[in-house]
Homo-oligomer: A and B are copies of this chain.
Amino acid sequence: MKFRGPGIKAGVSNRHIHVNEEDLKTLFGKDYELTPIKDLGQPGQYAADEKVIIVGKKGAIPGVRVLGPVRPETQIEISRTDSFQLGVKPPLKDSGDLEGSASLTVVGPKGTIILGRGVIIAKRHIHMTPEEAETYKLKDKDIVKVYCEGDGQRKTIFDDVLIRVNTKYALEFHVDVDEANAAFLSNNQMVYIIEE
């Protein structure tokens, strides 16, 4: 197996919600502002102290972390495991592409929203800058295979990994909890793009 370019850090995304201004107000109250508690791998993005309950027709999941800053459209990213528990069928999508996405009810301390769309399972992907894309000889929207050693017990090659290129990105391989657990992969472990 031959690798393309240097290793890339893994970032494991647990279920989370990005909110727009209006939904932030409904869930947490008028003039409410998010409380950043931890910077995320991507510049400017943070985990907020705020949490919500997400509810589908088969179940509810409490303690779902809000990520900031606020976005133009509210978006919920869950794993397939979560989707079965909630009783919802979200499509596998790139973050931000909400066409055909699913619906859930979101309960905050000050109010409830019935989110008509915005629920997705995120497509596994690698963030990189245009300079990094040049190093890897890749371009935005390319699809690659990624080798994950993890802790060495459940080595896995993930195909269908989307390359996302933007000047605002930092180099990082994003998977959800199902994918991380299938590979015994943890945050900040290195993964490698396979040269074919």
Q: Which residues of A contact B (CB under 8 A)?
A: 79-81, 92, 124, 145, 153-160, 175, 177-179, 181-184
Q: Which of B124, B157, B177 contacts A81 (CB 8 A)?
A: B177
Copies in the complex: 2
Residues of chain B with a CB closer than 8 A to A182's CB: 156, 158, 175, 178-179, 181-183
Enumerate 22 A-B pairs (CB-CB under 8 Å) in ascending A order.
A79-B181, A80-B181, A81-B81, A81-B181, A92-B154, A145-B157, A153-B160, A154-B158, A155-B159, A155-B160, A156-B156, A156-B157, A156-B158, A156-B159, A157-B157, A175-B182, A178-B178, A178-B181, A179-B182, A181-B182, A182-B182, A182-B183
Chain A interface secondary structure, helix, strand, loop or mixed? mixed
Shortest A86–chain B CB gap in Å is 13
Sorted from nearest, which 7 A-B pairs have the closest CB atoms? A182-B182, A157-B157, A80-B181, A155-B159, A178-B181, A179-B182, A178-B182
